[in-house]
Structure 1
Amino acid sequence: MWYFDSTIVLLIPAMIFAMFAQGSVRSAYRKFADIRNRRNITGAQAARMILDNNGLQDVSIEMVNGTLSDHYDPRTRVLRLSPRVYNEPSIASVSIAAHESGHAIQHAEFYVPLKLRNTIVPVANFASMLSWPLMIIGILIANGGNYVKGNFIMDIGILFFASVVLFHAVTLPVEFNASSRAVRQMESLGIVYDEEKSGAKKVLSAAAMTYVAALATSVANLLRLLMLRERN
């Protein structure tokens, strides 16, 4: 006999939102990756301009394999850009490179939400691996008759997953702030012309929505865990 877990319904709106956000960022990237910026500046050149303008000559820029795999590594102070972003002079390339440069500036300025997120990362990674196994073990033990022990283990699983939600919540101001910094830097350094700003903002806004979707999905999962706990 098939068993339907009604709590999974909680995830459906969040999953639809997440798919929409992913589709939007890929659509925006494809569109503006094919539009050359008028200054003919590559993503790597834009990043270098922004970093140097903010006294971050010691932050190096490297190419990394993948698509939309761009990121700033605060441990090694290296900004890594995907091949197209690194090499191509498109509106999308300079926008993404400017966003990652914004993270480097945050790091240099000891931006508190970024420091908090970097602190939470190892905890959230560890907790995300254990939260569901703990919940399943707790449910099995509770269903076996040991409610106190089973519920205690489930509570630990819920607390673990709450740290994942906290990570996604802290990520939002970090990403939105990096995008704001990116726009300001591109404007002040003349990396994009006025008529190109709307395209740059569309790329950054679409990317930001993926982080909102990640938070929504994690909150939905936490609510699901709480409902499973109450059921037992």
Structure 2
Amino acid sequence: MYYYWDPTYILVIIGMLICLGASAMVNSAMSRYSRVRNAGGITGAEAARRILNNEGLYNVQIECLNHSGGDHYDPRTNTVRLSHDNYNQPSVTAVGVAAHECGHAIQHAKGYMPLNFRSALVPVANIGSRLGLPLILLGVILGWSQVLIEIGIWAFALAVLFQLVTLPVEFNASARAVAKIQQYGLLGTEETKGCKKVLTAAAMTYVAAAASAILQLLRLILLFGGNRRRDD
């Protein structure tokens, strides 16, 4: 019966709308400022190298991805990976994104605790996101096995926890990015304002993902916690 409409679906819809709104915001900001050439003609790759060198992180490599999107810092290999556009283009967006990923590299180098905690959560969060819902479904199929259902909910909760821990990591990386951009004079005053808009919009996608995950967890608790109460 849970494949049909029930009032808790409103939580799923709210989560979807939040994510769609955040996605539209970041796409708009990045698209707008990717068309704004910074006055210094600095590409994302050049900005990243300047920040890393000035921070003494000569061992951190910078790689160009052969596709758009997917910018990230890989702590396992000490590598900042930038999308093709952000690596090569001298835009405000490119510098902002590159600086953000360097912010993660700086976090890693300084042993930033939330980043370490998030990294430690990755294995269990992956398990939770993959097995949480299947365990709940299996519990229902096996005649409302409350043990399996509760394990599934707790597993999903670990994935939600990962989303929450991600928030301070991402906000801190953006704050470091803006600080380093200003410190090393990578962008002008007005360009930095545009960069802040890009990074704020990007941060909102993580907020939206966390909010959506919380709403989904709440829905699971409402649906299957109610069954436990009826059994009692």
Give the TM-score taking structure 1 as reference length: 0.95
CA distance in 1: counterparts of 2:69 and 2:25, whole angstroms: 13
User: Following the alignment from structure 1 to structure 2, what is the Cα–Cα distance between the partners of residues 98 and 213?
Assistant: 22
The runs of 5 or more residues in structure 2 that have no matched partner are: 228-232
Deviates more, 1:8-17 or 1:78-87: 8-17
CA RMSD of the aligned region, Å?
1.2
- How far does residue 11 in structure 1 lie from its aligned partner after superposition? 1.4
1:178 has 2:179 as partner: no
**Aligned-partner SS, 1:142:** coil
Q: Secondary structure at the match of 1:191?
A: coil
Equivalent-residue separation in structure 1 for 2:5 and 2:102 (angstroms): 46
Q: Select which of 146, 158, 168 maps to 1:163.
A: 158
Aligned length: 226
1:91 corresponds to:
92
CA distance in 2, matches of 1:65, 1:226: 42
Distance in 2 between residues matched to 1:38 and 1:159, nearest whole Å: 51
For 1:65, the equivalent position in structure 2 comes to: 66
2:11 paired residue number? 10
**1:39-54 matches, cutoff 5 A:** 39-54=40-55
2:51 maps to a residue whose letter is I
Residue identity in the other structure for 2:195: A
Q: Percent identity of the aligned residues?
A: 50
Q: What is the correspondence of 1:1-232 to structure 2 with a 5 Å cutoff?
A: 3-143=4-144, 150-232=145-227
Q: Secondary structure at 1:221's aligned position in 2?
A: helix
SS of structure 1 residue aligned to 2:73: strand
Counterpart-to-counterpart distance in 1, 2:120 and 2:66? 26
The residue identity in structure 1 corresponding to 2:62 is I
SS of 2:142's equivalent in the other structure is: helix
**5-14 or 98-107: which moved more?**
5-14
* 3-12 or 186-195, larger mean C-alpha shift: 3-12
Which segment drifts farther, 27-36 or 5-14?
5-14
* Counterparts of 2:4 and 2:38, CA distance in 1: 55
Aligned-residue offset at 1:13: 1.4
Unmatched 5+ stretches in structure 1:
144-149
Offset from partner CA, 1:128-177 (integer Å, 9 cap, x none): 1100011111122235xxxxxx1111000011011011100100000000
Name the aligned partner's letter for residue 140 of structure 1.
I
Tell me the CA shift for residue 126 of structure 1: 1.3
Provide, for residues 50-98 of structure 1, a one-character-per-residue CA deviation record: whole Å limited to 9, x for no partner: 0001110000000113322100000000110000000000000000000
Per-residue CA deviations over 1:171-207 (Å, capped at 9, x if unaligned) read: 0000000000000000000000112111000000000
TM-score (normalizing by structure 2): 0.95
For the residue of structure 2 that corresponds to 1:223, the secondary structure is helix
Per-residue CA shift, 1:86-118, capped at 9, x if unaligned? 000000000000000000000000000000001
SS at match of 1:170: helix
Q: Secondary structure of the residue that 1:6 maps to in structure 2?
A: coil
Q: Using the TM superposition, give the Cα deviation of residue 224 of structure 1 relative to its aligned residue in structure 2, in angstroms.
A: 1.0
- Matched residue of 1:4: which SS? coil
- Secondary structure (helix, strand or coil) at the match of 1:61 reads strand
